[in-house]
């Protein structure tokens, strides 16, 4: 394996902080032991945690107004994999990449799989794209894809999703994420029931092509690109569609796809209750689908989502195997730094949720002791788990301070010399 950052550089960086880390870790260990928690057990859980990074997040993102590229940003999937490898090398919690097609299309996927494995990376869910027209495409998606009234567009979208499955099989993936932007901008533009029925019929054709060990993850979204109605607009439409389509059709929760202040942690509990919790796209937002860094706006909500995941893990329904993936648009930061920071925020919420005294919580809930129930969560949320995350990272060959190590590596400046410049543009990629 030839990794982009030298192990010596990471060791050198860690050497400066190791003594302080051990001090902080032992102090936290003594504090947690007083409440009966074994810090090494939490570290072991954290060492087993991972979240996938989106290939499309390795480059700068943008809005409809503009995208401002940075020097040395990746220009193809090969360079994106290199950057994703840097994130995993330093964080040790992002060993998989979630690709998007046709953005990441190559002629030899077997070679791409080997290339990724050489970089210490595997593959998570593959994402289809029927929200953009490709050059030379026979049928436009301007009026929708899986729900389009145009049978040709629907069949084209079905075929594309099946092609994504075939690509995913070559990469070793076992999940297909299906997000469609299908919807309307005007009342009356399309019939809600007929649109959904067309979607269900087309999605069922994709499901019929799903290999036995694969899942199909439906991603709901309230609005954008449609601004009056969206075919799969919320968890209700998604779970009903997943129940209609098939057992291995599950629901994916993109945190940014809900109206402000929606109780997303309750949606997680509901989807799990009915055995339909398939996965996540982690990010954060203040207004719309802002695709901001996970935990950067509302870290408490992310903690409450992981609290529900800890409850779900303890009470499996049709198993418990949600895919954890990041889905962000890095418009103003170095994408590698944003994904390092986001992976840390996500792992921190997983660790804090593991610190909740569930017996105390459940006891207080049964006793209607509201304050003590809330305090059971708040006590865990208030723990600074950074020493646990850093110790787990160091023991896995990662960096104590991921951002400092990344900056010390001079990786981006090096890539700015090697890579061709990305042109100005707009949009997410
Ligand atoms: C839609 C979405 C979806 C991806 C796209 C890049 O907003 O969240 O998951 O296909 O972003
Ligand atoms: Mn998403």
pLDDT above 80: residue 50:
yes
250 CA distance to ligand 2 centroid (A)? 15
Strand partners, 217: 177, 250
Question: Closest Cα to residue 76, out of 415, 397, 341, 333?
Answer: 415
pLDDT tens digits for range 295-342: 999 999 999 999 999 999 999 987 899 999 999 999 999 999 999 999
Which atom of ligand 1 is nearest to 291's Cα? Answer: 8
Which atom of ligand 1 is nearest to 289's Cα? Answer: 7
pLDDT above 90: residue 105:
yes
Question: Who surrounds ion ligand 2 at CB < 5 A?
Answer: 254, 281, 327
Give the phi and the psi of residue 20 in degrees, each rounded to 5. -65, -40
**Which pLDDT does position 72 carry in this prediction?**
97
- In b/e form, how buried is each residue of 243-254, taking b as 16+ CB within 10 angstroms? eebeebbbbbbb
219 CA distance to ligand 2 centroid (A)? 7
252 CA distance to ligand 2 centroid (A)? 8
pLDDT tens digits for range 63-94: 999 999 999 999 999 999 999 999 999 999 99
**Which pLDDT does position 179 carry in this prediction?**
98
Give 220-225's long-range contacts (Cβ < 8 A, gap of 24+): 220/251, 220/252, 220/253, 220/254, 220/257, 221/179, 221/181, 221/254, 221/257, 221/289, 222/257, 222/258, 222/259, 223/183, 223/288, 224/181, 224/288, 224/289, 225/131, 225/181, 225/183
**Distance in angstroms (rounded) separating the CA atoms of residues 296 and 429:** 21
The residues near 358 (Cβ < 8 Å, ≥ 6 apart) are: 310, 311, 314
Number of the ligand closest to the Cα of 281: 2
Question: Closest Cα to residue 305, out of 337, 272, 343, 328?
Answer: 272
Helical segments of 334-369, H only: 335-354, 358-366
Residue nearest to atom 2 of ligand 1 (CA): 179
Residue 425 pLDDT level (bands cut at 50, 70, 90): confident
How much of the chain exceeds pLDDT 90, in percent? 96
**Which pLDDT does position 429 carry in this prediction?**
63
pLDDT tens digits for range 128-156: 999 999 999 999 999 999 999 999 999 99
**Which pLDDT does position 318 carry in this prediction?**
76
**Which pLDDT does position 428 carry in this prediction?**
66
pLDDT above 90: residue 426:
no
181 CA distance to ligand 1 centroid (A)? 9
Which atom of ligand 1 is nearest to 429's Cα? Answer: 6
**Which pLDDT does position 424 carry in this prediction?**
79
The residues near 273 (Cβ < 8 Å, ≥ 6 apart) are: 317
pLDDT above 80: residue 262:
yes
Protein residues with CB under 6 Å of any ligand 1 atom: 56, 127, 179, 219, 221, 254, 281, 289, 327, 428
pLDDT tens digits for range 350-376: 999 999 999 999 999 999 999 999 999
416 CA distance to ligand 2 centroid (A)? 29
pLDDT above 90: residue 427:
no
**Distance in angstroms (rounded) separating the CA atoms of residues 16 and 364:** 44
* Residue in the structure block whose two tokens are 């939490």: 42
Question: Closest Cα to residue 174, out of 117, 218, 215?
Answer: 215
The residues near 177 (Cβ < 8 Å, ≥ 6 apart) are: 98, 125, 126, 127, 128, 217, 219, 252, 279
Torsion of CA 12, 16, 17, 18, to 10 degrees: 70
Q: What is the mean pLDDT of the chain?
A: 97
Instruction: For each of the domains in the chain, give its residue range(s) and CATH number, in order of start.
Output: 7-418 (3.20.20.150)
pLDDT above 90: residue 422:
no
The residues near 71 (Cβ < 8 Å, ≥ 6 apart) are: 412, 415, 416, 421
Mean pLDDT of the 215-232 span: 98
């Amino acid at each position: 394996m030839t990794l982009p950052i030298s192990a010596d550089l990471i060791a050198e960086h860690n050497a400066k902080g190791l003594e302080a880390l051990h001090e902080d870790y032992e102090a936290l260990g003594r504090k947690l032991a007083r409440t009966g928690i074994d810090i090494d057990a939490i570290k072991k859980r954290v060492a087993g945690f991972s979240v996938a990074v989106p290939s499309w997040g390795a480059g700068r993102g943008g809005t409809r107004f503009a995208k401002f590229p940075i020097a040395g940003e990746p220009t193809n999937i090969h360079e994106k994999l290199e950057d994703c490898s840097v994130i995993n090398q330093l964080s040790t919690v992002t060993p998989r990449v979630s690709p998007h097609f046709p953005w990441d299309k190559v002629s030899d996927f077997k070679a791409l799989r080997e290339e990724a494995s050489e970089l210490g990376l595997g593959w998570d869910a593959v994402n289809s794209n029927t929200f953009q027209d490709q050059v030379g495409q026979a049928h436009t998606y301007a009026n929708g894809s899986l729900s389009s009234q145009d049978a040709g567009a629907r069949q084209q979208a079905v075929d594309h999703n099946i092609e994504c499955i075939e690509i995913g099989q070559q990469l070793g993936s076992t999940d297909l994420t299906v997000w469609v932007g299908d919807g309307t901008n005007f009342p009356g533009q399309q019939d809600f029931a007929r649109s959904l029925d067309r979607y269900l019929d087309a999605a069922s054709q994709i499901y019929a092509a799903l290999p036995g060990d694969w899942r199909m993850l439906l991603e709901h979204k309230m609005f954008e690109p449609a601004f009056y109605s969206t075919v799969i607009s919320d968890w209700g439409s998604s779970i009903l569609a997943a129940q209609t389509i098939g057992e291995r059709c599950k629901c994916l929760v993109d945190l940014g796809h809900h109206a402000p202040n929606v109780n997303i942690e309750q949606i997680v509990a509901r989807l799990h209750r009915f055995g339909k919790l398939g996965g996540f796209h982690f990010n954060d937002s203040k207004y719309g689908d802002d695709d901001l860094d996970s935990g950067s706006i509302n870290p408490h909500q992310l903690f409450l989502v992981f609290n529900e995941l800890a409850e779900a893990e303890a009470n499996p329904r049709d198993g418990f195997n949600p895919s954890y993936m990041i889905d962000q648009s890095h418009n103003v930061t170095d994408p590698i730094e944003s994904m390092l920071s986001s992976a840390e925020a996500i792992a921190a919420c997983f660790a804090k949720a593991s610190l909740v005294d569930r017996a105390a919580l459940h006891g207080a809930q049964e006793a209607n002791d509201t304050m003590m129930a809330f305090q059971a969560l708040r006590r865990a949320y208030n723990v600074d788990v950074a020493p646990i995350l850093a110790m787990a990272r160091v023991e896995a060959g990662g960096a104590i301070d991921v951002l400092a190590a990344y900056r010390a590596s001079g990786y981006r400046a090096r890539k700015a010399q090697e890579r061709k410049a990305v042109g100005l543009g707009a949009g997410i990629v």
